[in-house]
Amino acid sequence: MDVSVEALWSMPVASLLDTYHKARRLYAEKKFARDTERARLGWQSARVFIASRGGVTERNNAVEASEELAKKGQHVREMTLDLDLLKADVDVMVMVLRHRGEPRAGGPAAEATGFGETTPEDFE
């Protein structure tokens, strides 16, 4: 998202909430993609393990030596980094909203009513 804190602070409330909403949706989409890739990697590792010959140690060595699985593992780690950076952006947006006195995103009321639902106390 690469939005500076100063830009977030000076945004109108409606724009800030819209940016927050888009960032949360992007975070959910990227998290789903990362988790899908992680599961696919686990499935492929299991296939290599089953297809290999020998004892458990030899099979584990075959999984670890697979260059294709190593590349996919690196891809999953890179997806995790992108996800963590996006989460940091979302957290900054939440902090700006809280410091500006806007409705709390993920505060105690959100825990009581479910994420994303607001109560009248959020606007006090």
Residues 24-63 pLDDT 10s: 999 999 999 999 999 999 999 999 999 989 999 999 898 8
- Coil, helix or strand for 52? coil
Q: Which of 105, 120, 89 is nearest to 13 (CA)?
A: 105
The pLDDT, as a whole number, for residue 124 is 44
In a domain, 112, yes or no: no
More confident: 78 or 101: 78
Query: What domain range is 13 assigned to?
Result: 7-100
Count of domains for the chain: 1
- Give the predicted TM-score (pTM) of the model: 0.70
Instruction: Evaluate whether residue 33 is within a structural domain.
Output: yes
Decide if 111 is inside a domain. Answer: no
CA separation, residue 83 to residues 26, 29, 69, 116 (Å): 9, 10, 21, 20
Assigned domain for 46 exists = yes
* 30: in domain: yes
- The pLDDT, as a whole number, for residue 41 is 94
DSSP state of 120: G
Smallest CA-to-CA distance from 20 within 100, 76, 80 is with: 100
Residue 20's identity, in one-letter code, is: Y
